[in-house]
Structure 1
Amino acid sequence: MAELAELEDPRARAVNEKHGDDHGVNLGKLRAVAKRLKTQQELARQLWATDDTAARLLALLICRPKAFGRDELDTMLREARAPKVHDWLVNYVVKKSPHAEELRVAWTADRDPAVASAGWALTAERVVKKPEGLDLPGLLDVIEEQLRDAPERLQWAMNTCLAQIGIEHPEHRARALAIGERLGVLKDYPTPRGCTSPYAPTWINEMVRRRESTG
C-alpha cells in the first residue's frame, strides 16, 4: 500500500476521475508492480479487502481467477463500483472462471444495472466465442425493448451485445441493424479519428466490411 501511495500521480488521478475511477496510479506502472509480484492469491484477497481502487486493480492482476468461488465473485462484483475495477474483474477474472456461465445468467436478470451490465458483457463474449444454446432472437427482443432507456453502463454492455450479434451472425444482421437505426443509441457518441463508432449500425457495417476486404 505504501508503494502504491508513492506511485500516486495527480495528473493520472485527474484523467482517471473523468472516467469515474478514484485512483491516481498510472496503469503501466501498476502492471509493472504486478509483473514483479507474479501470482499471489492470498495477497490479492488482502488487497481487495482494503477497498482501495488501485489496490483492487493490482489484486485483479495478481490473483488466480479459478480460485474464487461463485458467491465470492458475486460479492466482489457488487463491491466493484469503480468502472475500471468492474471491467477488469469481469474481463480478467470472471471470464476465466468455471462459474462464468452461471454468473452470466444470474447477473443478466439482476435488478442492479451495474450487475446486469456484467451479465450482458459476458453474454456479448459468448455471442462471439460460444453462441451455441443462446437464444439470439430472444436477446434481440430484450435489447429492442430495454436498450434506449437503460442506465449508461448497462446500455453500453447491451449495445455491445447488439453489435456482436450483427457482426458474428449474418442471419440476424438485418434485424440488429434495424434495431440500432431505430433506437439511435450512441449515434452521436464522440469517436476519435481512426476509431470505430460504438453506434451499432456503423460498428457492424465497418467490421463486416473489414472482414470481407481481407477474406
Structure 2
Amino acid sequence: MAEVAGTTVAEVMAELAALEDPKTRAVNEKHGDDHAVNLGKLRAVAKRLKTQQELACRLWETDDTAARLLAILICRPKAFERDRLDVMLREARTPKVHDWLVNYVVKKNPHAEELRAAWFADPDPAVASAGWALTAERVAKGPEGLDLAGLLDVIETRMKNAPERLQWAMNHCLAQIGIEHAEYRARAIAIGERLEVLKDYPTAPGCTSPFAPVWISEMVRRRQEETAA
C-alpha cells in the first residue's frame, strides 16, 4: 500500500476529537479502554490515510489511545526494529492498544519470534501476556521446537492465579494446544476442568465459550464435521 504524504498530527487529532462519542467512551471504559471513537469510524479514517509510517510513529508518541489505535492501522509492521517494539508494548497502557499492537504489528514483524521468547517470562504480566499470545499463535501455526508438555506444566501451575490479561493469554494457549494437538488434548481438557478458569464467563448466543474444555471440544467437533462433509 503506497504512503500518502501531507497529513499532520494536528489534523488527525482534530478529526479523532470530532468523532468522539460519550456512549462509545462509556462502553469502552467497562473494558479498561479510555477512548471514545467508534472502531468502525476509526478504520474508515485509516483506510483513507492508507499507510503512513512516519505519521504512525508521531501519532503513537501522542500517548492518546485513539491515535495509537490509528497508528497501528496505518503503520508498516515490518519497519519496526525489535527494541522499538519492546518499548511500544511496555507503553501500551490499554487492553485494545496492547491487543492490536501484538496482533496487527508484532505478529507481522520479522522479530516476532525473538520478542515472543523475550516476553514469555517477563516479570510484567502485561508483557508476559504478549509472549503467551505469540506462543498460542506458534502452537497453532508453527509448533516445531516448542515444548508443549512444558507449556501445559506452566499453565497448570500458574494460570489459576495469574492476573486477568495474562490468564486470558495462557487460557488461549491451553485451548490451542488441545485443539491442534490430539496427543495433548485429554490433558489440556483435564487442566481446564480442574482449574475452572473462565468457566462462568458470559457468552453470547451462537458464540463459543472461552472455557478451555468447551472451546476445545467445540472446535474439534467442527473440524470433524468439516472433514466428514
Q: Does 1:135 align with 2:180?
A: no
Deviations 1:71-116 (A, max 9, x none): 1000000000110000000000000000000000110110000000
1:70 is aligned to 82
The correspondence for 2:124, drawn from 112, 117, 120, is: 112
2:36 is aligned to 24
The correspondence for 2:213, drawn from 197, 201, 210, is: 201
Deviations 1:109-160 (A, max 9, x none): 1000000000000000000010111110010010010000000000000000
Q: Does 1:86 align with 2:98?
A: yes
Q: Does 1:39 align with 2:51?
A: yes
Matches of 1:12 and 1:201, distance apart in 2: 33
Amino acid in structure 1 at the alignment position of 2:98:
H
Matches of 1:92 and 1:190, distance apart in 2: 26
Deviations 1:153-193 (A, max 9, x none): 00000000000000000000011011111111111111111
Q: Unaligned 5+ residue runs, structure 1?
A: none
2:114 is aligned to 102
With normalisation by structure 1, the TM-score equals: 0.99
Q: Alignment identity in percent?
A: 82
The correspondence for 1:178, drawn from 184, 190, 194, is: 190
1:7 is aligned to 19
Amino acid in structure 1 at the alignment position of 2:108:
K
**How far 1:31 sits from its partner (Å)?**
0.4
Matches of 2:117 and 2:156, distance apart in 1: 19
Matches of 1:99 and 1:21, distance apart in 2: 27
2:4 is aligned to none
1:191 is aligned to 203
**How far 1:14 sits from its partner (Å)?**
0.8
2:3 is aligned to none
The correspondence for 2:174, drawn from 117, 141, 162, is: 162
**How far 1:213 sits from its partner (Å)?**
1.1
Amino acid in structure 2 at the alignment position of 1:150:
A
With normalisation by structure 2, the TM-score equals: 0.93
**How far 1:214 sits from its partner (Å)?**
1.4
SS at match of 2:160: coil
Matches of 1:13 and 1:108, distance apart in 2: 32
SS at match of 2:34: coil
Q: C-alpha root-mean-square deviation of aligned residues, in Å?
A: 0.5
| Equivalent residues, number | 215
Matches of 2:226 and 2:87, distance apart in 1: 44
Q: Does 1:152 align with 2:164?
A: yes
Q: Unaligned 5+ residue runs, structure 2?
A: 1-12
